[in-house]
Amino acid sequence: MRRPGPDQTVDGGPWAGFHTGIMLAGIDPITETRPGPCALNCSNEREVYSFHQGGANAVFADGSVHFLNEGMNISVMARLFTRAGGEVVSDSN
């Protein structure tokens, strides 16, 4: 939410380690509780977060990098996260 939160610890390993994976629960921006509709740049506690204004860069499985808008609907973000669902995601989704 663009302000400091409580201190956090990471349970071992690098940023891409098993215990440090990204989850997609979303945050409610008013109550700051999970789950919620805000999927990007709302919490850096295992959610997608960046210090870039307006969104975050993401690397896709094909090696491409895309800037994801922080106003993105959480259901669109979920479609981007899955690999076996066969979803097709476009700018209009």
Q: What is the pLDDT of residues 13-44, one digit of tens each?
A: 555 666 667 788 899 989 989 999 999 998 88
What pLDDT does residue 56 have?
Answer: 92
pLDDT tens digits, one per residue of 57-74 = 988 888 899 999 998 999
Residue span of the structural domain in which 69 resides: 25-81
Residues β-bridged to residue 48: 40
Domain count, the chain: 1
> Buried (b) or exposed (e) across 59-90, using 16+ Cβ within 10 A?
eeeeeeeeebebebebebbeebeeeeeeeeee
| Residue 75 token pair | 């259901």
For residue 67, being part of any structural domain is answered with yes
H-type helices in the chain, by residue range?
Answer: 74-81
For residue 10, being part of any structural domain is answered with no
For residue 92, being part of any structural domain is answered with no
Lowest-confidence region among 12-16, 46-50, 89-93: 12-16
46 versus 13: which is more confidently predicted?
46
